[in-house]
Structures are given as structure tokens and as C-alpha cells.
Amino acid sequence: WILAWMGLEINTMAIIPLMAQQHHPRATEATTKYFLTQATAAAMILFASTMNAWTMGDWNINQISHPLATTTVTLALALKIGLAPMHFWLPEVLQGLSLTTGLVLSTWQKLAPFALILQISQNTNPALLTTLGVMSALVGGWGGLNQTQLRKLLAYSSIAHLGWMIIILQFMPALTLLNLTIYITMTSTMFLSLKIMASTKINSLALAWPKTPTLTTLIMLSLLSLGGLPPLTGFMPKWLILQELTKQDLPITATIMAMSALLSLFFYLR
């Protein structure tokens, strides 16, 4: 756990200069918010792992077994990646960054916490993971409805996708990894396309068609794929997750997840 904590801290320290390189009050604010949340989460992880070692005498990540320690670590990692109800920092921070740094924050920065979540998922309270997943999907859907800023939209999109990944974690970790891979690919496509077009608001996309028809088509397809419309790639993980939830005898959870996807789909289509 000590090494995992060090890795997470070094990761945070490395992206802070990238976030603060634009000397703009908004960038500074975003950097400060990010630093505080990540430092809090890392401190919680260190605290929980110490508690586990103190009660169980074990520092091994796979052997974390004390219920309070597992819950604290899960919540700390949820805070690190921005799962609801610990998501409030994510839209604000992403809005204050450039599109390139936003890309790093939305994709690369999710890998380390996810590696840890995957390793402790079998020891975690299933109700906690389900609650985090359902709340994130709903918050990601509702939060993005009245946004006009593309970076905030992508932040809420991120929260919703992370919810889908967390909900299936305890039943089929392989599906979580599949979903993460597809999410990273589609989000990278979106950020890089928006960077080429230098657009950060929805209304700048409305004028994009005469200038770059091919890129606009690509953006449209990526957005629909993020929303999970068949026959695009983004539909596959959602379909498989709903199927697995139904198999695990959780039809109500599956229904709520499907309905929350409709909320997200509305703002993607818009």
C-alpha cells in the first residue's frame, strides 16, 4: 500500500505543473482544487492502509480485509477518479484546463486508481459499489443537461461512464476494463478533435460544418458512440453490462442504469 500511495502522489505532483502552465486565474483555481482533492484522497488511502496493517497486520493490497479499511479506500479512490457523490471537483477542474491537459486528466489519470480499484473490488462491500455506480450514472446524466461548455459536458460524460464501469466491477472485472478502454479511446478522439477545431463551447460547433466537414462528422459519430447508440462501439459495453446485471438478478439496477443512459444521450444528441 505504501508504494501504491507513493505512486499516486507522484502522479498528482507530475500533472500539477501541466495544469498551472497557463497563467490564468481559472487555471490556478482548477490546479488548487485538483491538488486539494487528490491530496485528501491520497491521505485517506494511507490512513486506511495503515489501519488495515494495524488491525490485520498486513500491508498487501490483495489482502485488505478490514471492512472499515476497504470502505475508506474505495471512497478515497472514488474521490480520486471523480465518482458521484465525490464528483464535484471534476467539472470545475476540467473547465479550467486546456484541451490537451483535459485529455490527460480524463484518460491517463484514471488508470492508476482503476488498477487499485480492480485489485480491491472483490473485498469491497457490494452495496457500496452499486450505490457509487448508480449515483454516478444519474449525476452524469442530470449534470450535463444544462451545460453549454464542452469541457464540462465531457466531465459529466466521464462521471456517467465511470458509474457504468463501477457497477459491473464486482461481477465481471473484464467488462470494466473493456469499458475503460473504449471510454479512453472515444474521449481521446473527442478532445483531440476539439483541440484541432479550437472549440470549447457548443455554439462554436454549430459553425464547424462549412469549415471542417470530415472532422465534424467524426465528432458527431464519437459523441453518439459516447452516448451508446447502436451500431456504434459505445453501445457494446452498455449492452454487455445490462445483460450481466440482468443475469445477476438485478433487474431494477439495470433499468435505472439504462434510464440514466437516456439522460446522457439527450445532451450528446444536442
pTM (two decimals): 0.95
Domain boundary among 71, 88, 121: 121
Which grid cell is 154? 465531457
C-alpha–C-alpha distance, residues 14 and 221, integer Å: 33
Cis peptide before 113 (omega within 30 of 0): no
Last residue of a domain, one of 62, 93, 121: 121
Asked if 143 and 162 touch (Cβ cutoff 8 Å), the reply is no
- Cα angle 67, 69, 73; round to 5: 120
Pair 162, 106 in one domain: no
Do 23 and 40 belong together in one domain?
A: yes
Looking at the structure of the chain, the number of domains it has is 2
Tell me how far CA of residue 171 lies from CA of 12, 148, 166, 167, 183, in angstroms.
30, 36, 10, 8, 19
> Are 244 and 162 within one domain?
yes
Domain boundary (73, 97, 121) is at: 121
pLDDT tens for the chain, 270 residues long, are 999 999 999 999 999 999 999 999 999 999 999 999 999 999 999 999 999 999 999 899 998 989 999 999 999 999 999 999 999 999 999 999 999 999 999 999 999 999 999 999 999 999 999 999 999 999 999 999 989 999 999 999 999 999 999 999 999 999 999 999 999 999 999 999 999 999 999 999 888 999 999 999 999 999 999 999 999 999 999 999 999 999 999 999 999 999 999 999 999 998
- The domain of 225 spans 125-269
Check if the beta carbon of residue 76 is closer than 8 Å to that of residue 41: yes
